[in-house]
């Protein structure tokens, strides 16, 4: 095949095949590099909710004066409440910054009656679900979301109605600051 074309033509074809800048993919690579450089020069983009690390508190919770349901756990309850729950005994706690006391007070305020057996036997998670369901009912009625396929699992926080629950606001702020690496 080399004999049928001139040496100049042969060298031109060889150069075109060997030269990386002449390839079609090279054009796309340079275009993509230009776009990347352009995007890097622009201001940083806003991180979306889906890209946020799990476990972060939502700013809207704090702005609305709400308490995140994930704060309500036995770990954040006082020692006497933890000991009483392990022994399945009733303990009427009224201490501030105790999640179990806050949950019981909120349930009572919202007229969600618990028997003594439920009060001792249900975990804070199950009681938290009761609170979430009640908050979801209020949202469905007050905000009219009942007809929009609203699920109680979509409710991430509640606005406290009792002083014991309101006392958890500072504890939530401290935990949020700790997660963000802010020391006060």
Spans in the chain with pLDDT lower than 70: 1-2, 22, 43-45, 47, 49-64, 144-150, 182-184
Q: Which of 122, 121, 123 is nearest to 88 (CA)?
A: 121
pTM greater than the 0.85 cutoff:
no
> Tell me, what's the pLDDT at 109?
92
> Tell me, what's the pLDDT at 36?
83
The alpha carbon torsion through 100, 104, 109, 112 (nearest 10 deg) reads 130
> Tell me, what's the pLDDT at 55?
55
**28: phi then psi, degrees, rounded to nearest 5:** -65, -35
Residue with tokens 């890097």: 40
Question: What whole-number distance in Å separates Cα of residue 183 and Cα of residue 98?
Answer: 22
């Amino acid at each position: 095949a080399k004999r049928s074309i001139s040496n100049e033509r042969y060298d031109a074809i060889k150069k075109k095949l060997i030269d990386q800048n002449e390839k079609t993919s090279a054009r796309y690579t340079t275009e993509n590099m230009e776009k990347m450089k352009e995007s890097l020069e622009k201001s940083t983009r806003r991180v979306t909710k889906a890209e946020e690390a799990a476990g972060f508190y939502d700013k809207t919770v704090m702005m609305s004066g709400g308490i995140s349901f994930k704060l309500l756990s036995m770990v954040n309850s006082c020692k006497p409440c933890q000991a009483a729950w392990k022994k399945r005994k009733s303990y009427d706690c009224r201490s501030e910054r105790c999640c179990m006391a806050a949950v019981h007070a909120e349930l009572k305020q919202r007229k969600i009656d618990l028997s003594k057996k439920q009060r001792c036997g249900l975990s804070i998670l199950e009681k938290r679900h009761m609170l979430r369901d009640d908050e979801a009912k209020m949202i469905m009625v007050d905000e009219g979301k009942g007809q929009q396929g609203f699920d109680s699992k979509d409710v991430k926080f509640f606005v406290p109605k009792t002083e014991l629950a309101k006392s958890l606001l500072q504890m939530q702020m401290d935990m949020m600051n700790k997660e963000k690496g802010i020391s006060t």
